[in-house]
Amino acid sequence: GQQVMQIPQYQHVQEGEDFTTYCNSSTTLSNIQWYKQRPGGHPVFLIQLVKSGEVKKQKRLTFQFGEAKKNSSLHITATQTTDVGTYFCAGPTPGSARQLTFGSGTQLTVLP
Amino acid sequence: DTEVTQTPKHLVMGMTNKKSLKCEQHMGHRAMYWYKQKAKKPPELMFVYSYEKLSINESVPSRFSPECPNSSLLNLHLHALQPEDSALYLCASRRLAGEISETQYFGPGTRLLVL
């Protein structure tokens, strides 16, 4: 079945440093979504990428969708303590667009 | 209104208890989901309802029984749970527009502890 892997699993950064998490799917994705889950919270939708090679920005966050639509990345510039949380990518489950297959997640800690 | 609400926020129950989790959305979404999430893991799909009908059951044990009374409400009935069922239970909803994969909106979850 489809696998969606994320690396790294954990990342500690000093406040002000940059951070990147990478998402790789075993199958081609029609789109990819990114969610953020704060400690003790629930997943919150960040963005959806649909087109091959697409790049979208939200303030300090930059999202990319690979040309082959099998990988994606989230880059945060100059991290802040408010960026703490776990970042999940998710793609449609093959054969069922109503289901999402979540990546394993990257847990970000920002040290003040 | 892009809110999904869940009650209760926290629940402690014994292995012989019967309890129910509730989820509500008023966004007109016609797909609703139950997920189970263990600490430091991604959400794990349990059930999907489409147009108030159960469309996906991911081989969930029968001690979990979902119910969708109407298009805004989703319940999860719990009976004879095991300690390993302790987790965060998340409800999500999504607008159905053909087969286009669209955003899922998550509720805050119910933190369940089974003693």
The tens digit of pLDDT for each residue in B61-92 reads 999 999 999 999 999 999 999 999 999 999 99
Distance between CA atoms of residues B19 and B103, nearest Å = 29
Q: How confident is the model at residue A5 (pLDDT cuts 50, 70, 90)?
A: very high
Tokens of residue B8, six digits: 């209760």
Q: Residue range A50-71: average pLDDT? A: 96
Point out the residue among B45, B100, B102 whose CB comes nearest to the CB of A99.
Answer: B45
Give the pLDDT of residue A93: 85
Identify any residues that bridge with A62 across adjacent strands, giving them in sequence order. Answer: A57, A75
Q: Residue range A49-57: average pLDDT? A: 96
**CB atoms A43 and B99 under 8 Å:** no
Distance between CA atoms of residues B56 and B95, nearest Å = 16
Reduced to 3 states, what is the DSSP secondary structure of residue A82?
A: helix
**CB atoms B56 and A86 under 8 Å:** no
Distance between CA atoms of residues B112 and B109, nearest Å = 9
Tokens of residue B76, six digits: 């999860």
Instruction: Give how far B76 is from chain A: nearest CA, Å.
Output: 18
Q: Which chain B residue's Cα is nearest to A93? A: B101
Q: Which residue has the tokens 């979902």?
A: B66
Statement: residue B100 has pLDDT above 70? no
HSE-up of residue A57 (Cα within 13 Å, Cβ side): 3
Instruction: Give how far A103 is from chain B: nearest CA, Å.
Output: 7
Q: How confident is the model at residue A108 (pLDDT cuts 50, 70, 90)?
A: very high
Point out the residue among B41, B48, B103 whose CB comes nearest to the CB of A45.
Answer: B103
Contacting B with CB below 8 Å, chain A residues are 30-31, 33, 35, 41-45, 48, 86, 88, 92, 96-100, 102-105, 107
Give the pLDDT of residue B2: 64
Q: How far is C-alpha A9 from the chain's CA centre?
A: 12
Tokens of residue B11, six digits: 């629940």
**CB atoms B42 and A103 under 8 Å:** yes
Which of B59, B101, B103 has the most A C-beta neighbours within 10 Å, making it the best mutation to test the interface with A? Answer: B101
Statement: residue B20 has pLDDT above 90? yes
Distance between CA atoms of residues B20 and B93, nearest Å = 18
Statement: residue B99 has pLDDT above 60? no
| Residues 6+ away with beta carbon under 8 Å from B44 | B35, B36, B37, B38, B58
B27-53 pLDDT, tens digit per residue, is: 989 999 999 999 989 999 999 999 999
